[in-house]
A and B are shown apart, each in its own frame.
Chain A
């Protein structure tokens, strides 16, 4: 199943690595990653598409626990 993730992260050292590492370690394969810090310099805005057999809810909860993750939304997508 595929999911679309919309994340807002602190623009701090390691934030991107943490998100990608958590995503993969918790059983999801990133298919696309796109993001920028243009609108406000102290935030990353990241969009990802991932696929995995586990519920998107579990990834949402794990990402939500990351200190650098200020907001995350997960939606199924085709």
Chain B
């Protein structure tokens, strides 16, 4: 029994059944230990594919995704996928080989300071220099990845530790996940007090809902309180797509109803959301009339970008359940009629601003195709790449659960889609997994077609090809005077021939009339298959909140960024009313803790000492160096 064999047994004890990786020099003892073990190893064709596949596995399942690479280039190739997991709070354990400890620090072959390089993109990392460290390190790595706000943990494993005698080590015992921090009674009380004052409350739900296993509690709260909800990119599916109170996604490419409601509401109840700039638009003008209640498991998010009148740190599901009855009772309170009128105003605007799918012309209209595919495969897990197609998926796919939507939200990493789909398929071979990609993103990890083919995973790829880097092209058209710089992809390969070269069935569609047949053929394919869809290069994503504008200033097709942008015909009384409410002068103080004054900081939810505005204490003698 050496360290590597002990580690393989420990991974089994942690419940790992599948690894994604690529072998190499410094990780060879581990691969030797894998040989003949019961762990399933998926050989990718680039380490970035391993990290994204483990990432997709974790997102779809909620379990820890595990990826493996060798030292040096193997480890550095993982980095984008690890960073993506960090920014989107995905539980992963990443194992990298390292040169032997005697060689570390000597610029040895394939030596990189992976421990140092990844420090900023992991929840924590470990560099066990002795085989005796392994039990603690492995237990802590999995505990940390799973606990609280999840995230990636890296173990950089020197080769001599892998081959060291481990026969004296005990069998691995997984560590208990940290108890979930519970919201305090005073914080919940304060939140309910704010809710009770609201006549126009709105829920702003994010990715934390799924991460906290709070989907059911969230839905029950919405139902009981009858408060309309907007969702972030990662929150999509937390409320059923067709739920009357689901106003859709907010933000840069958010729905008209969601963005107008946010700008008009008088109370914003942020649930597992973090006021990301793509969601808020111009932060200083975001939800300008609203007081904020903010519920999140991570106290760091409370007041980080927007002052919270009632910050609540702790478990989202518990918070929602504990507030549900009181929030429902508000409907019978003095603001009950106003609440219901607000709800009805929001849902009326939603109905009147719903997307239309009757695009003119014979060509394929991507939103229409995606909506149709969503109806044909309602239970599918969808892995997106990044760009226009990603936003069309967010806008037009009818997600019924957040774990069915795998998207690189915070990092926005092109190349995510195909390997993430592979990971999602590995975690549930019976799932219908669809990868929606663009011609730019697809070529970033196209080598994973070999992985798809090798394991005969029945992933269906929908490749929306506009022969351009579409989102960049759209911005150059709108904000850079149509100076199209390096976005032309008109010399794309023949994607069908490419897929077929990997042994993957492929078909092509370029006419709207043929879309239904093409989609049905795609879904009926028994194994992996690719549908290449030629779309109009000039098709853009609408609506669009231009940079540094507030979310009510949405551009629509034919709009002008300079005139920004009252998109919807204001002759409709319901829409005009919501627009007018959003545009009212702001009577209250500035809400953004002007990035940020100490006075604006919310009360600490931590048990640590924070003296706030207490009398200053004298600074101690400065020391220019860190002591050795």
In contact, B601 and A57 (Cβ under 8 angstroms): yes
Residues of B within 8 A of A77 (CB): 616-619
Bound Cα distance A32, B300 (Å): 24
B144: nearest chain-A partner, CB-CB: A67
Query: Does B606 make an interface contact (CB < 8 A)?
Result: yes
Chain A residues with CB under 8 Å of chain B are: 1-2, 4, 13-14, 16-18, 20-21, 25, 31-36, 47, 49, 53-58, 60-62, 64-68, 71-78
B621: nearest chain-A partner, CB-CB: A32
In contact, B606 and A56 (Cβ under 8 angstroms): no
Interface size on B, residues (CB 8 A): 45
Distance in Å: Cβ of A1 to nearest Cβ of chain B? 6
Bound Cα distance A2, B250 (Å): 37
In contact, A57 and B623 (Cβ under 8 angstroms): no
Interface of B is mostly: loop
In contact, B626 and A33 (Cβ under 8 angstroms): yes
A76 touching B616 in the complex, CB below 8 Å, given contacts A14-B125, A17-B119, A32-B622: yes
Distance in Å: Cβ of B424 to nearest Cβ of chain A? 29
Residues of B within 8 A of A73 (CB): 608-610
Interchain CB contact (< 8 A) of A25 among B120, B127, B620, B626: B120
Summed over the interface, the residue pairs from A and B with CB atoms below 8 Å come to a total of 117
Bound Cα distance A77, B622 (Å): 13
Interface of A is mostly: mixed
Query: Does B106 make an interface contact (CB < 8 A)?
Result: no
In contact, A53 and B618 (Cβ under 8 angstroms): no
Distance in Å: Cβ of B305 to nearest Cβ of chain A? 10
Residues of A within 8 A of B623 (CB): 32-34
Pairs A–B under 8 Å by Cβ, sample size 18: A14-B115, A21-B119, A31-B619, A32-B622, A32-B623, A33-B626, A34-B623, A35-B627, A53-B597, A57-B598, A57-B601, A58-B304, A64-B299, A66-B124, A71-B608, A75-B616, A76-B612, A76-B616
Residues of B within 8 A of A67 (CB): 123-124, 140, 144
In contact, B620 and A4 (Cβ under 8 angstroms): yes
A54 touching B300 in the complex, CB below 8 Å, given contacts A13-B115, A13-B127, A49-B619: no
Distance in Å: Cβ of A36 to nearest Cβ of chain B? 6
B622: nearest chain-A partner, CB-CB: A32
Within 8 A of A (CB), among B290-307: 298-300, 303-304
B607: nearest chain-A partner, CB-CB: A64
